[in-house]
Amino acid sequence: MKKQICLNGFIQNFPSPHSTGLWKHEKSKGHEHNRLSYWVETAQLLEKGKFDAMFIADVLGTYSVYKNSYHPAVEKAVQFPAHDPLLSISAMALTTKNLGFAVTISTTYSHPYTLARQLSTLDHLTEGRIGWNIVTSYLESEAANLGLSGRPTHEARYGRADEFLEVVYKLWEHSWDDNAILFDKDNDRFVDATKVHEIKHRGKYYSVTGPHLVEPSPQRTPVLFQAGSSPRGRKFAAKHAEAVFTKHTSLASLRAYAKDIHRLTRAHGRNPNDIKIFPLILPIIGSTEEEAHRNYEELKKYVSYEGTLSLLSGHTGIDYSTFDPDVYITEMETEAMQGNLDLYAKDPTKKWTLREAILNHGLGNGAVKFIGTPEQIAEKMELWATEGDVDGFNIAQVYSPGTFYEFVNHVVPELQKRGIYRTEYEGATLRENLFGKGRVHLPINHPGKQFSILQTNK
């Protein structure tokens, strides 16, 4: 059997996900992101395409590194207006059966006790289709809004995130025994209280007594996604993640990344197959190769150059307003998103000028472009999956949800014809669809399983 791939649809609750300025395109319905009908339509479309999950990105502040001002990003609708990512999920779950929802929540700016409750509730309501994209956040403006004096360093953010995960594992995996709900009308006992445990977590950042407020949901722990690519981010992913999102402009850098993630995963005593790797791609489709390239040239005209400068400045933490557009982007360390800087500074196949990087970043948030006929795009996906040693793709959009329409109607059938993509969902929960029927919960070698009730109740 050929290697099978999985797919996620990349979206965010703002008018132009994820192509800066493309809200102006006649095919864009992104400005309807404030309506449930937009979300339901998009979810049903992804389910028609047998996607594993909708991946909903999120940030908690404006992009204000560029020119030291939020005005350019706000004017150009750069991840703004930014509505909440969680609240449309119930409606989408009611109108779909199999699609998963991987939602972004920051460990730096939320609290593990309330996050555990929210995601357990949603895992119940979706009947086991929730994933959590664990982010540590990168914008200074987020810190300014959420009570911190500044953005913590990578080391501090990931240190806090490690403890955050420890708390939620205790709540999700160990606070409740499986058979605690009695629903015993005769004896007036809904729950067996001896089977609901406090966690008594006392750590450097959090003090949480418990018990967890929600009874075990179908998956207990939601599927854990992560997308950090700094050295510290990769270590965190190797320890906790079940799937990682990543961005690469070349197959060579993707292959090197996958090798590194697999090496780190082994070092954490886990099986490399326990982490699915999803590079971000942007499909640009035509009925001929020439037409696809013409479409690409046309789409570039909609990109907001200044909006993308503010996006890339926010992603990298570098204010590009004073840079010559024809200078090359060079390697350096950043406390913002290392991966987005490395995308252009460390590409083994090409040196990127700022201007080139901006034009690339404006369409699909820096995703690599797969341009061609549906057959050519499917062929390239198969090549990247096998030669890059990855498990599937995260599909970005030029106009939302139009790119998903084109992809589902034209590329998905080609993937199925090649025998590398499902024609039916395998399981009922998100984890089962990603890892195979029967794998509803975290595997036994995952760190989330290590906090036994005896340890936590000491």
Ligand X SMILES: Cc1cc2nc3c(=O)[nH]c(=O)nc-3n(C[C@H](O)[C@H](O)[C@H](O)COP(=O)(O)O)c2cc1C
Q: Quick check: 45 binds ligand X (CB under 6 A)?
A: no
Alpha helices in 49-147 (DSSP H): 71-75, 89-94, 112-125, 140-145
The β-bridge partners of 202 are: 207
Q: Select the residue whose beta carbon is closest to ligand X and give its number.
A: 233
Number of residues located near ligand X, criterion CB under 6 A = 23
Q: Quick check: 136 binds ligand X (CB under 6 A)?
A: yes
Q: Quick check: 59 binds ligand X (CB under 6 A)?
A: yes
The β-bridge partners of 224 are: 132
DSSP 110: S
> Are residues 180 and 195 in contact, defined by beta-carbon separation less than 8 angstroms?
yes
Q: What is the closest distance, in whole angstroms, from the C-beta atom of residue 262 to ligand X in the complex?
A: 18
> How far apart are alpha carbons 303 and 290 in whole angstroms?
21
| Comparison of 142 and 274: residue with beta carbon closer to ligand X | 142
174: phi > 0 → left, psi -120 to 50 → alpha, else beta; which? Answer: alpha
Count the residues in the chain: 458
Residue 354: what are its φ and ψ, rounded to 5°?
-60, -40
If 0-12 CB within 10 Å is exposed, 13-18 middle and 19+ buried, where does residue 235 land?
Answer: middle
**Sign of the torsion angle spanned by Cα atoms 150, 156, 158, 161:** negative
Q: Quick check: 410 binds ligand X (CB under 6 A)?
A: no
| Comparison of 366 and 374: residue with beta carbon closer to ligand X | 366
Looking at residues 210 to 229 of the shown chain, list those that interact with ligand X (rule: CB under 6 A).
227-229
Q: What is the closest distance, in whole angstroms, from the C-beta atom of residue 339 to ligand X in the complex?
A: 4
Q: Which stretch binds ligand X (CB under 6 A): 129-137, 264-272, 378-386, 435-443?
A: 129-137
Q: Which of 57, 78, 89, 167 binds ligand X (CB under 6 A)?
A: 57
Residues 6+ apart with CB under 8 A from 405: 45
Q: Quick check: 257 binds ligand X (CB under 6 A)?
A: no
Q: Quick check: 414 binds ligand X (CB under 6 A)?
A: no
Q: Hey, what amino acid is at 72?
A: P
- The pair of three-digit structure tokens given for residue 458, joined into one six-digit string: 């000491």
Looking at residues 263 to 282 of the shown chain, list those that interact with ligand X (rule: CB under 6 A).
280
Q: Quick check: 208 binds ligand X (CB under 6 A)?
A: no
* CB burial readout 57-77, b (16+ within 10 A) else e: bbbbbbbbbbbeebebbbebb
- The pair of three-digit structure tokens given for residue 14, joined into one six-digit string: 């703002």
Q: Quick check: 138 binds ligand X (CB under 6 A)?
A: yes
Q: Quick check: 52 binds ligand X (CB under 6 A)?
A: no
Q: Tell me: cis bond preceding 18? Omega within 30 of 0 counts.
A: yes
| Comparison of 102 and 442: residue with beta carbon closer to ligand X | 102
Q: Which of 9, 216, 233, 402 binds ligand X (CB under 6 A)?
A: 233
Q: Which of 80, 101, 245, 399 binds ligand X (CB under 6 A)?
A: 245
Q: Which of 240, 247, 248, 270 binds ligand X (CB under 6 A)?
A: 247
Looking at residues 303 to 362 of the shown chain, list those that interact with ligand X (rule: CB under 6 A).
337-339
Q: Which stretch binds ligand X (CB under 6 A): 40-48, 178-186, 245-253, 413-421?
A: 245-253
> How far apart are alpha carbons 46 and 25 in whole angstroms?
21
Looking at residues 91 to 120 of the shown chain, list those that interact with ligand X (rule: CB under 6 A).
104, 106
Q: Hey, what amino acid is at 40?
A: V
Looking at residues 369 to 408 of the shown chain, list those that interact with ligand X (rule: CB under 6 A).
394
| Comparison of 140 and 414: residue with beta carbon closer to ligand X | 140
Q: Quick check: 415 binds ligand X (CB under 6 A)?
A: no
Contact footprint for ligand X (CB under 6 A)? 57-59, 104, 106, 135-138, 154, 227-230, 233, 245-247, 280, 337-339, 394
